[in-house]
Structure 1
């Protein structure tokens, strides 16, 4: 399997990007969330490459080996991550691709699909549904997402997560597939705060309690074929916030529920995940 890494300057930062598969193969952009890096895709990537696809997996801004941004506001999805991904695609001369996101990578993927449908063949959203569906998912989702409010406490949250050899982080993200490597990466100066800034820039108590007006988040309707994937061992997200995403589609919508996997589907069920993605790509690609 051809595999290489790149350092790509885009949107004012230097990005670390994993690039696997033949350059001429159909491309897929895979985006991770918190507290991960592009390594979350390590079990899935070979399966996709073997099936004839090129996999581009960047470390998102502030994570892994990609630069940290200067301020909290720089982690806002529209001005930060969306432009990052488009810049990486331009640098690699990728005109069109499949787009995939897990955890915080999913809202980025939803935004890219809605606002730049000419650049993407399909969307696959893993664990996290459409942003509007998430905000409207009800009190059970608010209960499951209450930890996000803790993430707003600058300095306090960082200190609590790091205390006693990262005991709280280990407990809260106990199902993570490689927690030791994740802690190693987050232990570097500024990196935990950078990861938490994704929450601080994009989610607030006011937004969780009262969703912003329609259209204020940019174009929201998705007009490319979309696959939503959710797992029954999911601790942080309800099924309703994924299935409710169908209300924001003007294209084919497919939903798949994976049994026996935690929030970290790429670690827990890579074969099932890869097969679902490949079926989706082949059907609509």
Structure 2
């Protein structure tokens, strides 16, 4: 299996990108979330490559070995990661690709699919549904999202997560498939704050309690084939926010409920995840 890494200058930052599979194979971009890096896709990537795909997994801004941005505002998805992904595709000369996202990578993928549909064949949203569906998912989802309030307290949150050998972070993200690697990466200077800045720039308790009006996030309707995946061991997100995402898809919609998997489906059920993704891609080549 061809496996390379790139340093790509894009949107004012140097990005670390993993690139596996034949260069002329259909491309798929996989986007991670917090507290992860492209390492989260390690178990899934070979399965997708063996099925005939080129798999591109960047470290999103502030994570892994990609540069950190200067301010909280720089982590706004619309002006940050949205442009990063398109610039990475351009640098690799990829005109069109399948796109998938997990955790914070999912809202990035939803936004790209809605606003730049000419660049993507399909969308796969893992764990996190459409932003509008998430914000309107009801009080259970609001309750599950209360930790986001804690993430808003710059300095306080960082100190609490680092204390006692990262005990609080280990407890809150207890189902993580490789928490030691996540902590190793977050332990470097500035990296925990960079990761938390994704929450500070894009989510607030006020926004969760009072969803902003339509159009706030730009074009919101996705018009490419979309696969939504949710797992029955999910602790942070309700099934409703994924199932109701179909209301924001004006294209073929498919929903898959994974059994016996936590929030980190790519660690807990890589074969099942790869299988449904490959099926989705082959149904919409």
- Structure 2 partner of 1:62: 62
Cα offset, 1:216, TM superposition? 1.2
CA offsets per residue over residues 162-195 of structure 1, 9 Å max, x none? 0000000000000001111110100000000000
Q: Name the counterpart of 1:86.
A: 86
Encode CA deviations 1:65-116: one digit per residue, 9 max, x unaligned. Answer: 0000000000000000000000000000000000000000000000000000
| Unaligned runs of at least 5 residues, structure 1 | none
2:271 counterpart SS class: helix
Which sections of structure 2, spanning at least 5 residues, go unmatched?
none
The separation in 1 between residues aligned to 2:204 and 2:170, in whole angstroms, is 24
* Cα distance in structure 2, aligned partners of 1:205 and 1:262: 24
1:232 corresponds in structure 2 to 232
How far, CA to CA, are the matches of 1:137 and 1:151 in structure 2?
21
| Match of residue 244 from structure 1 | 244
Give the corresponding residue for 1:274: 274
CA distance in 2, matches of 1:143, 1:209: 10
- Shift >2 Å, 4+ stretches: none
Quote the residue 1:284 is aligned against.
284
What TM-score does the superposition give when structure 1 sets the normalisation length?
1.00
Q: CA deviation at 1:206?
A: 1.3
CA deviations over 1:50-71 (Å, ceiling 9, x no partner): 0000000000000000000000
Task: Give the whole-Å Cα distance in 1 for the aligned partners of 2:184 and 2:110.
Answer: 30
Q: Give 1:197's aligned residue.
A: 197
Deviation at 1:123, TM superposition (A): 0.1
Name the counterpart of 1:116: 116
2:215 counterpart residue number = 215
Q: Counterparts of 1:131 and 1:94 in 2: how far apart (Å)?
A: 26
Query: How large is the RMSD of aligned CA atoms in angstroms?
Result: 0.3
Once residues 119 and 226 of structure 2 are traced to their aligned partners in structure 1, the CA distance between those partners, rounded to angstroms, is: 14
Deviations 1:115-145 (A, max 9, x none): 0000000000000000000000000001111
What are the superposed Cα offsets for residues 20-54 of structure 1, whole Å, 9 maximum, x if unpaired? 00000000000000000000000000000000000
* 1:129 corresponding residue in structure 2: 129
| Counterpart check, 1:254 vs 2:254 | yes
Whole-angstrom distance in 2 between the partners of 1:35 and 1:174: 12
Alpha-carbon separation, structure 2, partners of 1:267 and 1:216: 34
Instruction: Name the CA distance, whole Å, in 2 between partners of 1:264 and 1:90.
Output: 29
- State how far apart, in whole Å, the 1-side matches of 2:51 and 2:181 are: 28
Measure, in 2, the Cα distance between the counterparts of 1:112 and 1:59: 17
| Distance of 2:56 and 2:136 partners within structure 1 | 32
Instruction: Supply the distance in 1 between the matched residues of 2:254 and 2:130 (Cα, whole angstroms).
Output: 13
TM-score by length of 2: 1.00
Equivalent residue, structure 2, for 1:165: 165
Task: Supply the distance in 2 between the matched residues of 1:94 and 1:177 (Cα, whole angstroms).
Answer: 31
Shift of 1:205: 1.5
